[in-house]
Amino acid sequence: MEGVIKKGNAGWWDGSVGYEIYIRSFADSDGDGVGDLPGITGKLEYLSWLGIDLVWITPFYPSPMADFGYDVSDYCGIDSLFGSFEDFDQLIQEAHKQGLRVIIDLVPNHSSSAHPWFESSRSSVDDEYRGYYHWRDPTTDGKPPNNWVSHFGGSAWTLDEESGQYYLHLFLPEQPDLNWNNPRVIQEFDEIIKFWLSRDVDGFRIDVAQGLTKNMLMPDNPIRFQINKNMSPRQVFASFDHRYDLDQAGNLEIFRRWRNLVDPHDALLLGEVYLRDNDPNRVSRYVSSGDALHRAFYFAPMHVPWDPQSMWDTFRDALDAAPEDLSWALSSHDDPRAPTRFGGGEEGKQRALAYSVLLFFLPGLPVIFQGDELGLPSIELELEELADPVATRNAVETDGRDGARTPIPWDSSSGFGFTHGTPWIPIGNRSEKDTVEYQQKTQGSWLMQYQTLLQIRKDNLELDSPLRWVTARDSDVISFSRGGLISALNVGVSGQILSLPNGQWELAFHVGEVVLNDRSVVFAENSAAILILAS
Ligand code: NOJ
């Protein structure tokens, strides 16, 4: 329309609520113990009922599964473990029929070492695919070319005995990093994106969006903290200033290029911008110009302790830096689940729900991780049950991601309705009360509260109303308004008082003990509320 300026990152995703499906552990339709595409199709009705608008499915491409699918050996295929193209098309069709959008996981930072590009690339220094990856000579004393480390432990370089050169991998040796300075790699991914758009996907979650381009001079990264052998891979990785391997300016050029591909299809680019220090200024660059990513995950809320000052720092700084275009998650398949992080037990669960009251009403895109809606804590597995390479390949086990990846308990039949076979990873000590079936018929259950919360969001959130903080940094109640709605979370002790702005406010939703008086609200500990201005 003439005279109307379309905001750069606006789209159908404004106002949407996302849901992450970790496919292996969601629903298994054929009894092989691994979740699959038809399994997801069978649960779309549930997701619609819950109030989800957008589903993100983790990788289902052909893969040796060294990193459970994040090691892709064919970007335009489907691993038979998860189903067929027919299953995929049916899933998309069904989802669209029910008004759900589907985004898929694009893994451009690295391929699998079993990808034909890499097999060719390693076959000879003169191979035409050699330049698809980063190959470098050893130092004069035979060491790796620089001090870069892998997220998953050890050097980021592996020596290929045959050619005498090292190749780069920021994750497992089975996940060689692609060379995004090579125009042929850029063109390959153009075709991959077009391929999936032609199959009607609604967008992409971009894995390791912060990592694609590298400084090609490959200098050593500066060291921030002294490293010792008792540190976990994550701690070692965080001990470096990733000045030359992550967050390089060239990443934005790639996303700008992809915007031209996805915009005509009205498809979403949602980036995993995982920067260890979670500096919001750096994350915001991926979205702020309005022509690169539409949304970027902001990870600080998944690590923040239950402490008012840390929460204020996390939320105020992020919203100052990127007021509209961040994506918020409570948990993911890479981190401990929120109830566990917040102390475990009933208190941890209550805190996770109270925290959702804050998180889900912020400007931007909230994404629920499967099982968050059931209040599930992480599962503690026995050493021999662990599957994640981060745990199984390292002597210091503190970072395994398996505890968040166990299957969803749908009902209390054997296999908890997840599978009629043997699950690929133990389901763990879930009880009947954890199941969807039980919670769906129990008033006041976590699931029913989530469903209500999402309905209130849908009915009352004025998307165009900017966020205004109702409390200040010295308050233990973190509260903001958007139009005629107030969200408030008490991170302090009992008895906190929130003074309300003028008007007649009604309590629409609360977690824990919350008392609404004439012009104020009193909060017990671990409580939260949504208030709505009566019209
Ligand atoms: C982020 C994904 O979420 C994680 O599961 C994976 O291991 C790494 N990227 C590497 O692809």
Contact assessment for residue 200 and residue 96, using Cβ atoms and an 8 Å cutoff: yes
Distance from Cα 71 to the centre of ligand 1, integer Å: 9
Structure confidence at residue 170 (pLDDT): 98
| Ligand 1 mutation pick, 24, 25, 70, 394, max ligand atoms within 8 A of CB | 70
Distance CA 531, CA 15 (A): 19
Structure confidence at residue 396 (pLDDT): 63
Distance from Cα 441 to the centre of ligand 1, integer Å: 35
Token pair for 72: 């892709």
Ligand 1 and 177: CB distance under 6 A: no
How buried is residue 215: exposed, middle or buried, by Cβ count under 10 Å (0-12/13-18/19+)?
middle
Ligand 1 and 67: CB distance under 6 A: yes
Ligand 1 and 70: CB distance under 6 A: yes
Distance from Cα 334 to the centre of ligand 1, integer Å: 7
Distance from Cα 109 to the centre of ligand 1, integer Å: 10
How buried is residue 230: exposed, middle or buried, by Cβ count under 10 Å (0-12/13-18/19+)?
exposed
Ligand 1 and 334: CB distance under 6 A: yes
* Atom 4, ligand 1: residue with shortest CA distance: 334
Distance from Cα 58 to the centre of ligand 1, integer Å: 10
pTM: 0.97
Q: For the segment 118-130, what is each residue's pLDDT rounded down to a tens digit?
A: 999 999 999 999 9
Token pair for 279: 């500096």
Among residues 50, 389, 384, the alpha carbon closest in space to that of 21 is found at: 50
Tens of each residue's pLDDT in the chain, 535 residues = 444 544 599 999 999 999 999 999 999 999 999 999 999 999 999 999 999 999 999 999 999 999 999 999 999 999 999 999 999 999 999 999 999 999 999 999 999 999 999 999 999 999 999 999 999 999 999 999 999 999 999 999 999 999 999 999 999 999 999 999 999 999 999 999 999 999 999 999 999 999 999 999 999 999 999 999 889 898 999 999 999 999 999 999 999 999 999 999 999 999 999 986 678 999 999 999 999 999 999 999 999 999 999 999 999 999 999 889 999 999 999 999 999 999 999 999 999 999 999 999 999 999 999 999 999 999 999 988 999 999 888 876 566 899 999 999 999 999 999 999 999 999 999 999 999 999 999 999 999 999 999 999 999 999 999 999 999 999 999 999 999 999 999 999 999 999 999 999 999 999 999 999 999 999 999 999 999 999 7
Distance from Cα 378 to the centre of ligand 1, integer Å: 18
| Residues β-bridged to residue 160 | 165
Q: Which active-site residues does the annotation give?
A: 207, 272
Contact assessment for residue 405 and residue 333, using Cβ atoms and an 8 Å cutoff: yes
Residue 10 has, within 13 A of its CA and on its CB side, a CA count of 7
* Atom 2, ligand 1: residue with shortest CA distance: 207
Ligand 1 and 297: CB distance under 6 A: no
Contact assessment for residue 84 and residue 62, using Cβ atoms and an 8 Å cutoff: no
* Atom 10, ligand 1: residue with shortest CA distance: 70
Contact assessment for residue 163 and residue 170, using Cβ atoms and an 8 Å cutoff: no
Contact assessment for residue 214 and residue 244, using Cβ atoms and an 8 Å cutoff: yes
Distance from Cα 10 to the centre of ligand 1, integer Å: 27
Structure confidence at residue 5 (pLDDT): 47
Ligand 1 and 20: CB distance under 6 A: no
* Atom 5, ligand 1: residue with shortest CA distance: 334
* Atom 8, ligand 1: residue with shortest CA distance: 70
Length of the chain counted residue by residue? 535
Closest atom of ligand 1 relative to the 208 alpha carbon? 9
Closest atom of ligand 1 relative to the 171 alpha carbon? 10
Closest atom of ligand 1 relative to the 274 alpha carbon? 1
How buried is residue 223: exposed, middle or buried, by Cβ count under 10 Å (0-12/13-18/19+)?
exposed
Q: Give the domains, in start order, of the chain with CATH numbers.
A: 18-109+183-456 (3.20.20.80), 116-168 (3.90.400.10), 462-533 (2.60.40.1180)
